[in-house]
Amino acid sequence: MSYLFTSESVSEGHPDKIADQISDALLDSFLAFDKTSKVACETLVTTGQVVLAGEVRSNTYLDVQQIARDVINDIGYTKGEYQFSGDSCGVISLIHEQSQDIYQGVDKTSKEEQGAGDQGMMFGYATKETENYMPLALDISHKLLIELAKLRREGDDIKYLRPDAKAQVTIEYSDDNVPQRIDTIVISTQHDDFDEDETMLKKIADDIKSILIPRVKALFDEDTQALFDDDITYHINPTGKFVIGGPHGDAGLTGRKIIVDTYGGKGAHGGGAFSGKDPSKVDRSAAYAARHIAKNMVAAGIADEVLVQVSYAIGVSEPTSILVNTTNKHIDMSDGEIAKKIRQIFDMRPGMIEERLKLRNPIYRETAAYGHMGKEPRLETKIYRSDYSGEVRHEVELFTWEKLDYVDQLKEAFNL
**Per-residue pLDDT reduced to its tens digit, 100-113:** 544 555 555 567 77
Per-residue confidence (pLDDT) for residue 117, from 0 to 100:
83
Of 93, 45, 53, the residue nearest 71 (C-alpha): 45
Question: Phi/psi at 324 (nearest 5 deg)?
Answer: -125, 130
Separation CA 144–CA 276 (nearest Å): 26
Average pLDDT rounded to a whole number, residues 296-302: 98
**Cα dist. 119→63, 191, 290, 347 in Å?**
32, 43, 16, 18
Average pLDDT rounded to a whole number, residues 252-273: 97
Instruction: Please tell me which residue in 205, 226, 251, 299 is annotated as part of the active site.
Output: 251
Q: What is the pLDDT of residues 6-44, one digit of tens each?
A: 999 999 999 999 999 999 999 999 999 999 999 999 999
Per-residue confidence (pLDDT) for residue 157, from 0 to 100:
92
Separation CA 22–CA 10 (nearest Å): 16
Of 22, 51, 15, 31, the residue nearest 368 (C-alpha): 22
**Cα dist. 354→178, 221, 273, 289, 315 in Å?**
36, 34, 18, 9, 15
Please indicate whether residue 251 is annotated as part of the active site.
Answer: yes
| The pLDDT of residue 89 is above 60 | yes
Q: What is the mean pLDDT of the chain?
A: 94
Average pLDDT rounded to a whole number, residues 290-296: 98
Average pLDDT rounded to a whole number, residues 115-134: 94
Average pLDDT rounded to a whole number, residues 395-410: 98
Per-residue confidence (pLDDT) for residue 104, from 0 to 100:
52
Please indicate whether residue 250 is annotated as part of the active site.
Answer: yes
Please indicate whether residue 166 is annotated as part of the active site.
Answer: yes
Instruction: Please tell me which residue in 14, 38, 152, 162 is annotated as part of the active site.
Output: 14
Please indicate whether residue 203 is annotated as part of the active site.
Answer: no
pLDDT bucket at 98, cuts 50 / 70 / 90:
low
For the beta carbon of residue 273, count every other beta carbon within 10 angstroms: 20
Q: What is the pLDDT of residues 361-393, one digit of tens each?
A: 999 999 999 999 999 999 999 999 988 889 999
Question: Phi/psi at 308 (nearest 5 deg)?
Answer: -120, 130
Please indicate whether residue 399 is annotated as part of the active site.
Answer: no
Please indicate whether residue 128 is annotated as part of the active site.
Answer: no
**Cα dist. 82→72, 103, 164, 206, 273 in Å?**
12, 41, 10, 24, 28
- How would you list the strands of the sheet with 90-97, edge to edge? 90-97, 49-57, 38-46, 252-253
Per-residue confidence (pLDDT) for residue 287, from 0 to 100:
98
Instruction: Please tell me which residue in 152, 248, 266, 281 is annotated as part of the active site.
Output: 281
Q: Write the CATH number of the domain with boundaries 3-8+135-245.
A: 3.30.300.10
Per-residue confidence (pLDDT) for residue 1, from 0 to 100:
77
Please indicate whether residue 329 is annotated as part of the active site.
Answer: no
Instruction: Please tell me which residue in 147, 283, 366, 402 is annotated as part of the active site.
Output: 283
Residues contributing to the annotated binding site for ATP: 14, 164-166, 241-242, 250, 256-257, 273, 277
Separation CA 315–CA 230 (nearest Å): 55
Per-residue confidence (pLDDT) for residue 361, from 0 to 100:
97
Separation CA 346–CA 35 (nearest Å): 24
Residues contributing to the annotated binding site: 14, 16, 42, 55, 98, 164-166, 241-242, 250, 256-257, 273, 277, 281
Instruction: Please tell me which residue in 257, 292, 329, 365 is annotated as part of the active site.
Output: 257
Instruction: Please tell me which residue in 162, 248, 256, 349 is annotated as part of the active site.
Output: 256
Separation CA 190–CA 18 (nearest Å): 15
pLDDT bucket at 79, cuts 50 / 70 / 90:
confident
Per-residue confidence (pLDDT) for residue 371, from 0 to 100:
97
Per-residue confidence (pLDDT) for residue 251, from 0 to 100:
96
**Cα dist. 388→21, 27, 93 in Å?**
23, 17, 18
Residues contributing to the annotated binding site for Mg(2+): 16
pLDDT bucket at 243, cuts 50 / 70 / 90:
confident
Per-residue confidence (pLDDT) for residue 331, from 0 to 100:
95
pLDDT bucket at 200, cuts 50 / 70 / 90:
confident
Domain ranges for the chain: 3-8+135-245, 120-128+280-413
Please indicate whether residue 408 is annotated as part of the active site.
Answer: no
Instruction: Please tell me which residue in 84, 242, 274, 346 is annotated as part of the active site.
Output: 242
For the beta carbon of residue 240, count every other beta carbon within 10 angstroms: 9
Pick the CATH number of 120-128+280-413 from 3.40.1080.10, 3.40.350.10, 3.30.300.10, 3.40.50.720: 3.30.300.10
Of 98, 405, 367, 118, the residue nearest 255 (C-alpha): 367
**Percent of the chain scoring above 90 in pLDDT:** 86
User: How far is CA 357 from its chain centroid?
Assistant: 16
Q: Strands, DSSP E only, in 47-108?
A: 49-57, 90-97
Q: Do the beta carbons of residue 127 and residue 133 sit within 8 Å?
A: yes
Q: What is the pLDDT of residues 310-343, one digit of tens each?
A: 999 999 999 999 999 999 999 999 999 999 999 9
Please indicate whether residue 257 is annotated as part of the active site.
Answer: yes
What pTM was computed for the model? 0.95
| The pLDDT of residue 141 is above 70 | yes
Residues contributing to the annotated binding site for K(+): 42
Of 143, 152, 160, the residue nearest 74 (C-alpha): 152
Separation CA 130–CA 305 (nearest Å): 11
Instruction: Please tell me which residue in 74, 172, 250, 304 is annotated as part of the active site.
Output: 250
Please indicate whether residue 55 is annotated as part of the active site.
Answer: yes
Separation CA 100–CA 85 (nearest Å): 37
Residues contributing to the annotated binding site for L-methionine: 55, 98, 250, 281
Instruction: Please tell me which residue in 12, 24, 34, 42 is annotated as part of the active site.
Output: 42
